[in-house]
Structure 1
Amino acid sequence: MRRLTLSPLPSRRRTAVIWPAAVAGTIALTLTAEHAAHAAPPEPALTSLPPAPRSLGMPVLAAVTAPTTYTVKAGDTVWGIARAHGLDTAAVLAANGLASDAVIRPGHVLALTPAAAPAPAAPEAAPRTHEVRPGDTVSAIARANGVSLDTVLSANGLTRASIIYPGDVLRIPADSPAPAPAAVAPATAPGLDAEQSDNARLIIRVGRELGVSDRGILIALGTAMQESWLRNLDWGDRDSLGLFQQRPSTGWGTPAQILDRERSTRVFYGGAADPNGTATRGLLDIPGWDQLPYADAAQAVQISAYPDRYAQWEQPATTWLAVLG
């Protein structure tokens, strides 16, 4: 028989696993009574998962919920803990109020909070265009597309003096929403509080609506200031009421009508639109009222026992009209 010569089997070489001397990140230290221990290398991650068990008709167990906390062991680093749990290192630091150079020690319990996924960016609207046709204007194009004229001009490098021609193609961007106007308190005039300024503003508005000249409005403002301090009083001398201290007993209206600020102001101005008709005489019903001295014109309407007191309000009324009118 021939003897077979068997070659020796190749020996399997063992590869030594060399662990890094230090792991980047913050090191968890364990101190002994004599010296600090070296950081223990982290356990190697699994390279593959075991095969799923064969189904035998038994109910399938639910997946294990990912832990929400982790207790630090010797040799741990925040970087290593975050990586092992699929988290961002900065997120773990932030969730535990740690600085990047903070030291963690065995026994510390860290919260494992995954970093929130950024919200997807809203898709940008595709830009629209408009081809200019004969007769088009930029303002008409902007209006038809629901955007402002300035938005279209700016998007196309145009000014209000620019000329567009048939065949030109204009970009129509989305119009940015106008910011909500900030709440602004109504203006007050010098020497008047908010209530007085509001009443003065009403006297001015009614005068404008009736076509009264500025001088007539100044007379109304000064008269109301002298009679009621520009306040809608529900009391006065005898039965006098309201801004102009009109009296129900002399035909100026019922108490409720006189306390209606707008109605009493229209009655003071009088004229063709006087709510009282010809029952009372307002400023516009006095012949030549605009040629009378300031105090005389007011006195012709009010018939006051103190006619000279109206004159002191002519100059302040001029300021009130300038500020509020």
Structure 2
Amino acid sequence: MRRLPTPLARPRARTVWPAAVAGTIALALSGENAAHAAPPAPRVLTTTPPAPRILSTPVLAVAAAPASYTVQPGDTVWAIARAHGLDTAAVLTANGLDASGVIRPGQVLTLVPAAPTPPPAEAPAPATSGRTHEVRAGDTVSAIAVANGVSLDAVLAANGLTRASIIYPGETLQIPTAGAGAAAPASVSPATAPGLDAEQSENARLIIRIGRELGVSDRGIAIALGTAMQESWLRNLDWGDRDSLGLFQQRPSSGWGSPDQIMDRERSTRVFYGGASDPNGSATRGLLDIPGWEGLGYADAAQAVQISAYPDRYAQWESPASVWIAVLG
């Protein structure tokens, strides 16, 4: 038998894959092997990572509103205020305008309103001493203040009164502690009433004080004040019509007293009021001696005492006399 030669191993054909396919297979094989492989060691950072970058927001400078603005053609207050970041009402107020106000080209508007004036601090109420005074007929606030060694202003402030306030018998006044409220300096003149100078005010104060002491009503005191104003301008005159003298122009020849007695302001005032304590007794008739005098008209009551040739002239002093009592009494 013919021995046939051993066939040579036929070389296996090599398949050449395109690079892209080869790469894909390689990745697939790598992934398959990775499933069975030990996990890779963690990566160790050998350097500190840079700090994170901080993004800053730029601050926009806001320009302050100018102090004023000159109006241009076509401007409105609303537009001007908006352009400067202001409130329209504030601009109107700063320039004395209202919503219907008209502005004109060339007009200068104030844009920065004046700072508001802080309210004045309230003065502390004067401390009271716990003492009180019940008002009696003839009392005045000034006399009560003197009797208690405190200033007139302190008593007024402690009781919410003014120099024009009127006090009445039976009313209770709080007396502040000594030294509360500053007493008026010695150089300051006494208070004067409207329309009166210092001399007239002093004479009016005397008439009011005596009337209070006698328990005369404010109406009676007002009649005495008006009478003295009409007769002598509230001055203690040493002359007058014929032999008339003094505050009330009383006549010695008619029994009102001697010239010296009539020139005594306090005595002549008490004689005008009359009544049970009249220094002149029954020689003359004062206001309190006139039956029903409180029901008479102002001028009629004065005329009943004075018997003047011009009785109607007393009436003009009725209203001023009430003010004088309020200020001086």
Whose Rg is larger? 2
For CA contacts below 8 A with separation 6 or more, give which structure has more relative contact order.
2
**Larger helix percent:** 2
TM-score bucket of the superposed structures, by smaller chain:
0.3 to 0.5
TM-score (norm 1): 0.45
TM norm structure 2: 0.45
